[in-house]
């Protein structure tokens, strides 16, 4: 990324008389040097991976809380959290029943 030397705004590629130049998105500053050797990437990469926690091996280290299992109604469960959505949204809390091993999630 390149920034404007005058106002600090983001410089974006602009075509000027067949030459690519960098122009400020705020104050309209245009870099006088041709940026023909600069490669502009216009693709957006998508895809996020979610790490799966193997709770069968790590149950001993997970915290235990009071939470009612929807399957067997036992009142203790292990829990862990994972950021499954955007960073500005709350994380997802997963529970695993101490007694029957049923796993469920809480989005709140």
Q: Which of 16, 75, 89, 91 is catalytic?
A: 89
Whether 37 sits among the annotated catalytic residues: the reply is no
Fill in the DSSP letter of residue 89. S
pLDDT value for 36: 45
Residues of the chain with CATH 2.20.25.10: 55-106
How many whole angstroms separate alpha carbon 108 and alpha carbon 93? 8
Q: What is the pLDDT along the chain (108 residues), one digit of tens a residue?
A: 678 888 888 888 887 777 778 888 888 788 876 554 455 555 555 565 655 655 555 666 788 999 999 999 999 999 888 888 888 888 889 999 999 989 998 876
Where in the chain is CATH 2.20.70? 1-36
Spatial CA neighbour of 71 closest among 40, 48, 103, 30: 103
Q: Are 81 and 89 spatial neighbours (Cβ–Cβ below 8 Å)?
A: no
> How far is residue 105's CA from residue 102's CA, in Å, rounded to a whole number?
10
The answer to whether residue 75 is catalytic is no
What pLDDT sits at residue 54?
Answer: 59
Residue 8 pLDDT: 84
Q: Active-site residue among 88, 91, 98, 106?
A: 88
SS (H, E, C) 58-91: HHHHCCEEECCCCCCCCCEEEEEEECCCCCCCCC
- Could you tell me which CATH number the domain at 1-36 has? 2.20.70
pLDDT score for 85: 80
Place of tokens 């994380």: 91
pTM: 0.46
Please say whether the beta carbons of 102 and 77 come within 8 A. no
| CATH number at 55-106 | 2.20.25.10
Residue 42 confidence (pLDDT): 52
């Amino acid at each position: 990324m390149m920034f404007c030397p005058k106002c600090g705004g983001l410089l974006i590629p602009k075509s000027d008389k067949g030459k690519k130049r960098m122009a400020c998105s705020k104050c309209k500053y245009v870099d006088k040097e041709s940026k023909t050797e600069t490669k502009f990437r216009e693709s957006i990469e998508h895809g996020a991976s979610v790490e799966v926690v193997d709770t069968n091996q790590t149950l001993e280290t997970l915290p235990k809380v009071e939470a009612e299992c929807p399957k067997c109604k036992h009142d203790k469960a292990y829990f862990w959290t994972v950021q499954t959505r955007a960073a500005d949204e709350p994380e997802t809390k997963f529970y695993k029943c101490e007694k029957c091993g049923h796993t469920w999630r809480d989005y709140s």
